[in-house]
Structure 1
Amino acid sequence: MSMVLLVTNRPHLARQVRLEWDSVRQRHVLLAPEGVLLLNHTGATILGLCDGERTVVEIVEGLRGQYNRVVDDEVRDFLNRLVAKRWVELDDE
């Protein structure tokens, strides 16, 4: 797997990671053996689009349909941090 996020990569959650709604905290969480990450609505939306089918460009386009301001670099930075933790994996096109 590549460690450098490219616009043609197709990100998806690593096998051991789950995106879930935490009814106690009333927010989405990313659960992994290494810990829990509390997500804001935007982070949960990004990860919900990481299905291994959509490219990074397609994820950004999908976000533009839901939010007024989407910055490509911020989306890539968010995904890069999760790739570095091995919570998100990248498939090549």
Structure 2
Amino acid sequence: MTTSVNPADIFSLARHYRFQWEEAQQCYVLLFPEGMIKLNGGAGEVIKRVDGNKTVSDIVAELQQAFPDAPDIESDILAMLQLALEKAWLEKRN
């Protein structure tokens, strides 16, 4: 089942994942009991803002402000959230 990402959606990290900066990898990672997922810079910036309180619109606005020169950033953010949802890294809160 594929759920689409909507502007009013609120997500949190799935219970069995932990998000952190990994100094040895020089990137953000998702840790889980079986291993680690290395996130590229953009993915890390998106997941870093997923806190169980911000809507997708809030995250998009925050990243547009942080990276004003990034072309078409909104579609990249939505695609990243969609991927994270499909991979079950995130859980929908609302």
Contact 1:50 1:59 in 2 (8 A): yes
Structure 1: segments with no counterpart, 5+ residues: none
**Aligned mates of 1:34, 1:72 — CA distance in 2:** 32
Identity of aligned residues (%): 27
AA aligned to 1:62 is E
How far 1:36 sits from its partner (Å)? 2.2
**Aligned mates of 1:45, 1:84 — CA distance in 2:** 18
Q: Secondary structure at the match of 1:53?
A: coil
| Aligned residue pair count | 91
How do 1:6-85 residues align onto structure 2 when only pairs under 5 Å count? Answer: 6-33=6-33, 35-67=35-67, 68-69=69-70, 70-85=72-87
The residue that corresponds to 2:89 in the other structure is 87
Structure 2: segments with no counterpart, 5+ residues: none
Contact 1:10 1:56 in 2 (8 A): yes
**Aligned mates of 1:41, 1:71 — CA distance in 2:** 13
Q: TM-score normalized by structure 2?
A: 0.84
| Residues 10 and 57 of structure 1: CA distance in aligned 2, closer, same or farther (over 3 Å) | same
How far 1:34 sits from its partner (Å)? 5.2
For the aligned residue pairs, the C-alpha RMSD in angstroms reads: 1.7
Contact 2:64 2:73 in 1 (8 A): no
